[in-house]
Structure 1
Amino acid sequence: MACAPSIADHIIPAVSSAEDEEIVDLVVKGTIPSYALEEQVGDCKRAVRIRREALQRITRRSLQGLPLAGFGYGSILKQCCEMPVGYVQIPVGIAGPLLLDGFEYIVPTATTEGCIVASTNRGFKGIYASGGATSTILRDGMTRAPVVRFPSASRACHLKFFLDNPSNFQTLADEFNKSSNFARLQGVQCSIAGKNLYMRFSCTTGVPWG
């Protein structure tokens, strides 16, 4: 079981070498993009240390209250939270058991909202007492909904016709899928309001069900 970070972990360490100091200076000057540090130095924690030091110099604000040590930054690389400079601690409560599809689950809940775990737990007790719940997945996907404003409603219609044409889907999917290591385009829905074209892109997220 991992230990909680100590007070010492909350102290911002200085950059550890002349090489790190040089990289910090290059980030401050904009020569090295902050997002490229993990690839540049080959060490996720070192990259975070350099990034937060550069950020402090750029903003002239201290990050001393934000913990650095005690977190596995490699586990989030290209997964979530780009350009990390630390992490926050959130209390985790447990609710359950939840009887779902014939299996019992203990549900950890990270929250700072009072009563949320207790109320969830009461709901789980009700579900359990009634014989459990059965789940059904109607549709699985993530959506993004940009809007484009054109000079005229006619121009907006031209794009809508293009997006609605099934023969163009593969072209759209190829471009859309380049934007993510995980997302894969499933479909696009469009609607027009005056000169505005509202688009809703639906995609899978790389997490299979079943």
Structure 2
Amino acid sequence: MSDGSEPSRLAEKVREGELRLHELEDHTDSETAAAARRQLLEAETDAELETIGDFALDAEQATDANVENMVGAAQIPMGVVGPVQVAGGAADGEYYLPLATTEGALVASVNRGCSVIAGAGGADARVTKSGMTRAPVFRVGGIAEAEAVVSWVGENTERLREAAESTTSHGELLDVDTYVVGDSVFLRFVYDTKDAMGMNMATIATREAAQVVEDETAASLVALSGNLCSDKKPAAINAVEGRGRSVTADVKIPRETVEERLHTTPEAIEEANTRKNLVGSAKAGSLGFNAHAANVVAAAFLATGQDAAQVVEGSNAITTVEARDGVSASDASGGSSDESDGGLYASVSLASLEVGTVGGGTKLPTQSEALDVLGLRGGGDPAGSNADALAEIIAVGALAGELSLLAALASRHLSSAHEDLGR
């Protein structure tokens, strides 16, 4: 690192127009460049950036992979919920889930839900579908040419797979779905990206496959992303077809546990879910039929280094609740039902949860440590199992959040809980 005068000298060069903000790393190390930008901003805005400049991450690593024009780092409080037992296809055991958030009462609420799930013997969770998508749009002369392109794609999927997979040692092309709108042809490529979230992997692979389509048909590529993917935007296609991981978590809770721990009844929670999450969401034209699943998704994403903007797709979730007869503690943990007074079945299904345990923000130090808490840093064995497990644990966390909020609403304790915590 350069001496203390170096940031001031570089800041002055930017101020005088000799250098641009993004050129500083060409003349010094990343940490000094960040310090020079802070000095420039302090002089230009009268802000004090001492705390922003006090960070633990490696500036070189961050500027190489995660951010441009770095000035420092934003700190978000991180809490933890659990432990909660998860019986998943990939996750199996007791887990603590780190959550990074600025919303007071969120961690407390989710932790209450986790405690109730733990008291019921844990939750089941499964990834039911997996596939990262990229959907380029092509221009054709008209519907006749569009039909010809669609036919060619259907007959040559193996050629497209070979081209796409030539760009990656891990990703696999699963399918290519075709859509036609007038003289536009959309090809929605679906990939198994293993333990990576895989957006960059899918984009690079699709670029190679799109070149083959252009070479062999009358189609002309207009945009590598035609928004039928659809990334970081509310989209029914993701709610229906899924993107990333489609994952469901569910639990059966005995009536006595609902009454003692959630201070309400299974019937009251069911009615709150039906009228709020189902009827209310339908009337609003919502793509998400849940109470606040995005709260847990966002906090888990920030804690574990996921792409925070993809919480948009993470809100594509449906919560179901049913008051059932004969749900006892033994039934909740996998046994058979008995003559008890019944209980509660609850599930949350997230259609498009985009997560990874390698690449991107997962390499940053605090995010890597959060993944270590889960035991899921890096690639899994078999490949993809760590990302599957992360999806399942987040789904159980979302389920815990749904249970806690619905119970607070059903018992009319929501506002008092916030008041008690001073939020």
Separation in structure 2 between the aligned mates of residue 92 and residue 155 of structure 1, nearest angstrom: 54
Q: Which runs of 5+ in 2 are unaligned?
A: 197-357, 359-378, 386-423
Q: What is aligned with 2:183? A: 195
Give per-residue Cα distances to partners, 1:114-139, cap 9 Å, x unaligned.
43222211221222112112333334
Separation in structure 1 between the aligned mates of residue 61 and residue 10 of structure 2, nearest angstrom: 25
Q: CA deviation at 1:194?
A: 2.2
Q: What is aligned with 1:118? A: 108
Q: CA deviation at 1:17?
A: 6.0
Q: What is aligned with 1:186? A: 173
TM-score w.r.t. the length of structure 2 is: 0.36
| Cα 1:174/1:124, change in 2 over 3 Å | same
Higher helix share: 2
Q: Which runs of 5+ in 1 are unaligned?
A: 1-12
**Residue identity matched to 2:74:** V
Q: Which has the higher contact order (CA 8 A, sep 6+)?
A: 2
Separation in structure 1 between the aligned mates of residue 150 and residue 39 of structure 2, nearest angstrom: 47
- Check whether the contact 1:48–1:86 (CA below 8 A) recurs between aligned residues: yes
User: 3-state DSSP class of the match of 2:71?
Assistant: coil
Give per-residue Cα distances to partners, 1:5-54, cap 9 Å, x unaligned.
xxxxxxxx9852646755785542xxxx82x754x356332233345667
Q: What is aligned with 1:174? A: 166
- Check whether the contact 2:79–2:100 (CA below 8 A) recurs between aligned residues: yes
Q: What is aligned with 1:87? A: 73
Count residues with an aligned counterpart: 184
**Residue identity matched to 1:44:** S
2:93 to 100, 103, 121: 103
**Residue identity matched to 1:84:** M
2:55 to 51, 70, 81: 70
| Cα 1:167/1:89, change in 2 over 3 Å | same
Identity of aligned residues (%): 27
Q: What is aligned with 1:10? A: none
Alignment RMSD (CA, Å): 3.8
Mean Cα displacement is larger for which, 87-96 or 132-141? Answer: 132-141
TM-score w.r.t. the length of structure 1 is: 0.64
Separation in structure 2 between the aligned mates of residue 64 and residue 167 of structure 1, nearest angstrom: 56
